[in-house]
Amino acid sequence: MTTLSARLEQTAPIPLAADIRCASGELLALVGPSGSGKSTILRCLAGLHRPAAGHVRCGDESWFDAARGIDVPPQQRRVGLVFQHYALFPHLSALANVVQALGHLPPAERAARARHWLARCNLDGFDDRRPAELSGGQQQRVALARALAREPQVLLLDEPFSAVDQVTRRRLLRQLIELRRSLAIPIVLVTHDLEEASLLADSMTVLHHGRTLQTATPEAMLAQPASALVARLTDQPNLFEGTVLQHLPAADTTLIEWLGRPLLASHQPAFAVGQTVCWLVPEAAVVLVREHQSERENTVSALVSERLAWRGHATVSARVDGRREATLNFAIGAAVAERRGIVPGARVPLQLQKAAIRLLAADAAIAGPAGTSGKGQSP
Amino acid sequence: MDWQALSLSLQLASATALLLLPAAVWLARLLAWSAWRGRAALEAAILLPLVLPPTVLGYYLLLGLGGASPLGQAYHALTGRQLVFSFDGLLVASLIVNLPFAVQPMQRSFAAIPRELREAAWVSGLSRWQTFLRIELPLAWPGIAAALALSFTHTLGEFGVVLMVGGSVPGETRTIAIAIYDQVQAFNDAAAAGMSALLLALSFVAVIVVSRLGRPAPRR
């Protein structure tokens, strides 16, 4: 088992204070907004950028150690790197591109092995094409074949799907999911696409200004973000501000006040009574209930402001008390939305499931009039 | 036709182009890819021969290569000969005069190679030298060929600096451009016309080569 682990620190050109850990066969997604240092971290792992301090280890090998003056050059790190724009050699055929990464084999074996990798990436018959004669998706697969041909100890993918259209992206995603089952190496994927990360990743690390905020499985990241900032960076829509009213340990309840109404959350004693907190309810825990059920606990009446339907699913936004900063988002089947008359302007009773409500420390970056509703506030 | 002058010019032009090649490749990569203090000053210094009057340039070269200069003295100590008014002196001057013609087209072609391509090569396991040979050279080749053609032709036609540094010693420093001047001075119009036509033709071919090769390198 080779585990990739790294601690990277620097203050310029962009700040870094990142901890990365990825085991063999695991796919770690680095997510965060543009400029959060995701690509720089990959470059540090590959040996293309030297941070001021920290270390990079792969299994027993030390690739970088600022304190011990170790900095193994990229040629000796055995890293497969797929660049965001693929960085294929434009003057070489697909086959020759892959052959460049086979320097560890005797020259006579290289062409056959390059064909093998092209075939693994579903590119039979494209050997002689130059990159300019290939589609975006095909170029991406040549880049992947070149990265794998190196027989790397670590595979690094820098936004590998950002330069292809949506349909191609889905196909490539499926191929990658299939391929990674056969790769027993750590894979680090940089992406700003949370859906991509959730589909592919075993664990996710959220970055902000070069700092790793939280590492968790995609599910845990959504259900239990470590902070309001993580919730915002992972695009959690239902993030609001409230005040702690009362702790009722016997009833496993913490009572909070939101928009002048009490709300029940599971017991979270870390927050003091009277304290202003952020609270979060995942989209899946916002439940559309029947009219006669509107007396249930944590049920609020909201005015539908938007319904977006696609492929049988509807994403609905509804405002509590008609307030923009109190917009709840939830998803239902498009057919259900149609049957229940969920159209803009309709009034619906929504239950916020107590067990799923999570309190988080108030965050200056989230709080304030613009930040309280969460989704759609950042430009 | 002054065959001796033509032969001398061809030797000077070939030697200049070939000796400049490695130095210009090194300088071009340095200027294309790295940012450092003094880069702008070096770039300006390399461009100077392009804008200076040949007489001014020739004057300073004469000072720099003359018998009183350290370089001239070192050369004298080594060979027992003078650097100025000799073929070797002419070659040194020619190398300096042609720097911008060699470095500029190469710098542009190296700068057009995305940094990512070199990084992809390193990550693929190619050493810096292999990356240079397999990736950089093929991609920068049009600029390198244009640089060779330009410095070759420019040396053939150089007049002012040659006259200042070399004078007109037959078989040593009298190049074809000087020979044309001498023939015109001697009212030998037929000889001047023949040699001028030859230079014109050579230059025309070189310009065609340069413009054909000078097209931007294929991008990703």
ipTM of the complex: 0.84
Residue B113 counted as domain residue: yes
Are A90 and B126 in contact (CB < 8 Å)?
no
The DSSP code sequence of B23-86 is HHHHHHHHHHH---TTHHHHHHHHHHHHHS-HHHHHHHHHHHHSTTSHHHHHHHHHHSS-STTS
Are B126 and A100 in contact (CB < 8 Å)?
yes
Residue B18: helix, strand or coil by DSSP?
helix
Q: Which helix (H) or strand (E) holds A166?
A: helix A166-180
pLDDT value of position A35: 86
| Residues of A with Cβ-Cβ distance to B130 under 8 angstroms | 103
B32 has pLDDT over 90: yes
Are A100 and B121 in contact (CB < 8 Å)?
yes
Are B218 and A132 in contact (CB < 8 Å)?
yes
Contact in structure between A223 and A64 (CB atoms under 8 Å): no
Cα–Cα distances (Å) from B212 to A67, B64, B155, B219, in that order, read 53, 37, 20, 17
Contact in structure between A362 and A277 (CB atoms under 8 Å): yes
Of B114, B125, B135, the CB nearest to A75: B125
Cβ neighbourhood burial of A69 (10 Å; 0-12, 13-18, 19+): exposed
Strands (E), A40-130: 53-58, 61-65, 70-71, 79-82
Are B219 and A87 in contact (CB < 8 Å)?
no
Domain that holds residue B173: 3-32+41-213
Nearest chain A alpha carbon to B139: A91
| Residues of B with Cβ-Cβ distance to A145 under 8 angstroms | none
**Would you mind telling me the total number of residues written for chain B in this entry?**
220
Provide the CATH number for the domain around residue B148: 1.10.3720.10
Please list the helix, strand and coil fractions of chain A in percent, rounded to the nearest 5, in that order.
30, 35, 40
Of B120, B126, B130, the CB nearest to A83: B120
Contact in structure between A254 and A247 (CB atoms under 8 Å): yes
Structure tokens that stand for A317 in this block: 């936004």
Contact in structure between A222 and A236 (CB atoms under 8 Å): yes
Cβ neighbour number for residue B115 with a 10 Å cutoff: 10
Are B114 and A87 in contact (CB < 8 Å)?
yes
Q: What is the mean pLDDT of residues B57-69?
A: 90
Distance CA A264, CA A282 (A): 15
Of B119, B122, B219, the CB nearest to A90: B219
Distance CA B194, CA B77 (A): 41
Structure tokens that stand for A254 in this block: 């913490």
Residue B65 counted as domain residue: yes
Closest CA to A279 of A378, A379, A367, A219: A367
pLDDT value of position A371: 39
Taken in order of first residue, the domains within chain A and their CATH numbers are: 4-228 (3.40.50.300), 233-361 (2.40.50.100)
Nearest chain B alpha carbon to A154: B123
Alpha carbon distance, N-terminus to C-terminus of chain A? 43
- Report CA torsion sign: A105, A106, A107, A113: negative
The identity of residue A24, as a single letter, is S
Tens of each residue's pLDDT in chain A, 379 residues: 789 999 999 998 889 999 999 999 999 999 998 889 999 999 999 999 999 999 999 999 999 999 999 999 999 999 999 999 999 999 999 999 999 999 999 999 999 999 999 999 989 899 999 999 999 999 999 999 999 999 999 999 999 888 888 888 888 888 888 888 888 899 999 998 888 888 889 999 999 999 999 999 999 998 889 999 999 999 888 999 999 999 999 999 999 999 999 999 999 999 999 999 999 999 999 999 998 888 889 999 999 999 998 888 999 999 998 888 899 999 999 999 989 999 999 999 999 999 999 999 987 665 444 334 444 333 3
What does the longest C-alpha to C-alpha distance in chain A come to?
Answer: 77
pLDDT value of position B128: 95
Cα–Cα distances (Å) from A291 to A189, A294, A296, A350, in that order, read 46, 6, 10, 10
Closest CA to A289 of A209, A362, A351, A226: A351
pLDDT tens digits along B130-166 = 999 999 999 999 899 989 998 999 999 899 899 898 8
Are A87 and B119 in contact (CB < 8 Å)?
yes
Count interface pairs A-B at CB distance under 8 A.
Answer: 68
Are B218 and A91 in contact (CB < 8 Å)?
yes
Nearest chain B alpha carbon to A145: B124
Cβ neighbour number for residue A369 with a 10 Å cutoff: 9
Nearest chain B alpha carbon to A152: B124
Structure tokens that stand for A379 in this block: 């430009």
Nearest chain B alpha carbon to A77: B123
pLDDT value of position A2: 87
pLDDT tens digits along B82-130 = 888 899 999 999 999 999 999 999 999 999 999 999 999 999 999 999 9
Q: How far is CA A77 from the centre of its chain?
A: 26
Of B117, B125, B130, the CB nearest to A150: B125
Are B125 and A73 in contact (CB < 8 Å)?
no
Interface test with B, best of A71, A91, A113 (most B CBs within 10 A): A91
Residue B219 counted as domain residue: no
The identity of residue B63, as a single letter, is L
| Residues of B with Cβ-Cβ distance to A74 under 8 angstroms | 119, 122-123
Residue B138 counted as domain residue: yes
Structure tokens that stand for A313 in this block: 């699913």
Are A83 and B119 in contact (CB < 8 Å)?
yes
Of A77, A85, A101, the CB nearest to B116: A85
Interface test with A, best of B124, B126, B144 (most A CBs within 10 A): B124
pLDDT value of position A170: 85
Closest CA to A316 of A291, A284, A292, A293: A284
> How many angstroms separate the CA of residue B79 from the nearest CA in chain A?
46
Distance CA A338, CA A324 (A): 24
Structural domain total, chain B: 1
Residue B106 counted as domain residue: yes
- Which positions in chain A have a beta carbon within 8 angstroms of at least one beta carbon in chain B? 46-48, 73-75, 77, 79-81, 83, 85-91, 100-101, 103-104, 131-132, 146, 150
Distance CA A89, CA B119 (A): 11
Residue B166 counted as domain residue: yes
Nearest chain B alpha carbon to A149: B124
Of A73, A77, A83, the CB nearest to B116: A83
- Which positions in chain B have a beta carbon within 8 angstroms of at least one beta carbon in chain A? 114, 116-117, 119-127, 130, 134-135, 138-139, 218-220
Residue B149: helix, strand or coil by DSSP?
helix
CA atoms within 13 A on the CB side of A328: 31
pLDDT value of position A165: 85
Q: What is the mean pLDDT of residues B195-200?
A: 91
Q: What is the mean pLDDT of residues B158-182?
A: 89
> How many angstroms separate the CA of residue B119 from the nearest CA in chain A?
7
Are B122 and A146 in contact (CB < 8 Å)?
no
Distance CA A2, CA A170 (A): 30
Closest CA to A329 of A311, A312, A348: A348
Nearest chain A alpha carbon to B140: A91
Opening angle at CA B177, ends B171 and B178, nearest 5: 55
Structure tokens that stand for B201 in this block: 């033709």
Cα–Cα distances (Å) from B38 to A83, A377, B50, in that order, read 32, 46, 20
Distance CA A213, CA A211 (A): 6
Are A100 and B220 in contact (CB < 8 Å)?
no
Q: Give phi and psi for A77, each to the nearest 5.
A: -90, -10
pLDDT value of position A366: 58
State what percent of residues in chain B have pLDDT above 70: 97
Residue B218 counted as domain residue: no
> How many angstroms separate the CA of residue B95 from the nearest CA in chain A?
32
Distance CA A30, CA A42 (A): 9
What does the longest C-alpha to C-alpha distance in chain B come to?
Answer: 66
Nearest chain B alpha carbon to A42: B123
Distance CA A279, CA A232 (A): 12
Residue B109 counted as domain residue: yes
pLDDT value of position B217: 47
